[in-house]
Structure formats: C-alpha cells, structure tokens
Amino acid sequence: MSSAADIRVLTTPQELFAAAAEEVVHVTNEAVAERGRFTIALSGGSTPKSLYNLLATNARNALPWDRMYFFWGDERHVPPTHTDSNYRMVDETMLSKVPVPPGNVYRMPTENPDAAAVAEAYEATLRKFFQLQLGQFPKFDLILLGLGPDGHTASLFPGTVGLQEKFRLVIANWVEKLNTHRLTFSLPVINAARHVAFLVSGTDKATVLHSVLEENVLGEQYPAKLVQPADGNLIWLVDRAAASGLSQQK
C-alpha cells in the first residue's frame, strides 16, 4: 500500500529549490550507500532549472557524480540541440558543469523522426540498464516530476492514450492539443520508483494543485493524480504561491 503523500510547503521558490536539492543529495547518498549507484529520471519544463543549477553549484561537492545515472522521464520529440529539448536544458543547467561521466547520461534518441522508434529504443536502454525480465519495471531511486496547469505530469496529458499504458515502459504519446508526439515514461514506471518528488512553484499552479491534492477529480482529467507509487514514497515540494489554493496550509 503506498504511503500517504508528504506535502512540504516552502515559503519562497529559493527555499523550495534548496529543499529539493537537499532531497536529491539525501536520496543519492542513501542509494549509493545501499546499492552503489543512484538512478534518477529528470523532469523537464522550466521549474526544475533552478534545482539543476543548485545541484551543479551549491550541492556540487556533496554528490558522487560518478555513481549517478541520469535518465529523462519525458522528452519533447525534437533533436537534443533544439531549444525545447529537456536534454538540452539539463545539459546547459547542470550536466555540462559537473564531473559526471558521459556514459552515465542516457538521453532519449529524439533525433529519430519516428517517435515510436525513439520510445522503443529508450525502452530497450532501460531494460538493458536495469537488467529487466519481461513484465518487470525499472525501480528508479528518484523520479522528478512537474505539474502542468492542466494536471499533466511527465508527458501524460489529460485524455491521452498514454494514460492507459500498463505494459510498456516508454511510449510515444500523441498530444492533440500540442499537435505532436511526446516521449514519456508510462505510469507503471513512475509508480515503481523508490521515491517520486513533484516540484511545483508559482501562483499559476495554485488551482491545479488544489484540484489534484484536495478534490475528488478523475485521474483521466488530472494525470498527476494517478502518480501513486506502489511501495515508494511520494513527496510534493511546493512553494507558498503554488500552495495558496490549498484549504489548509500544510
């Protein structure tokens, strides 16, 4: 049974990102101590940029970069050099500034114009890295997630086919309103993680955060609600602006 979500409200964005960096350092060092390595699936968009920057600066010396393995929980279907690329964003804000071995970084091969082939290739990468048998899901030490104003997370958007995926690890999810495929982990992969951390900042997320955390909404309409790690723990790291719509300050 998954544990109840842990909701931590930080006063300012700066405190939010500092708390998130502390969480990454804690989970990293725990994973390396217990299993010799740390595996993380990164989120994209704009919110996590400040976290990645902090990890590359203030937390740089607290992290065993050579024991850390980086993946992406979702990606836009654009080349890695494109301004919309989550890989490019993470490389610019963090990876290019730290001593992580290039072989520890597993980006999605989104230069391939065939989105389904990108998903299949990345799924094969996960199966090999985690040495998975058929039917098994990878157990990431940490999966970072954001929350879109429409309740999407990773690239699991409301009403998209990807929400129904129960077997695949990585899917090319057609997102009608964006008129594009988005590459994304399936829900079973997200829910298999040891730790899942949402990072939510800003007043523009207040309404959707209230809906996801406090209203009896359908996961089909608010996919973030479907993130319920089976035996991992779920943390919501939010700033006061994003929490301003919650009924009681946590």
Stretch of 21-29, 40-48, 103-111, 118-126 contacting ligand 6PG, by CB under 6 A: 40-48
User: Is residue 50 a contact residue for ligand 6PG (CB under 6 A)?
Assistant: no
Binding mask 133-152 for ligand 6PG (x = CB under 6 A): -------------xxx---x
Q: Which of 28, 43, 85, 173 binds ligand 6PG (CB under 6 A)?
A: 43
Q: Tell the burial category of 81 from Cβ atoms under 10 Å away from its Cβ (0-12, 13-18, 19+).
A: exposed
47 scored as a contact of ligand 6PG (CB under 6 A): yes
Whole-number Cα distances in Å, 97 to 56, 59, 91, 93, 103: 6, 12, 8, 8, 15
**Contact assessment for residue 8 and residue 199, using Cβ atoms and an 8 Å cutoff:** no
Does residue number 162 form part of the binding site for ligand 6PG (CB under 6 A)?
A: no
Tokens of 175: 């997102």
Q: Please, what is the minimum distance in Å from the beta carbon of residue 100 to ligand 6PG? A: 20
Phi and psi at residue 27, in whole multiples of 5°? -65, -35
Q: Does 153 bind ligand 6PG (CB under 6 A)?
A: yes
Closer to ligand 6PG by CB, 43 or 173: give it. 43
Q: At 136, give phi and psi (nearest 5°).
A: -90, 155
Which of residues 31 and 144 has its CB atom nearest to ligand 6PG in the complex?
Answer: 144
Identity of the amino acid at 126: L
Binding site for ligand 6PG (CB under 6 A): 43-47, 74, 86, 146-148, 152-155
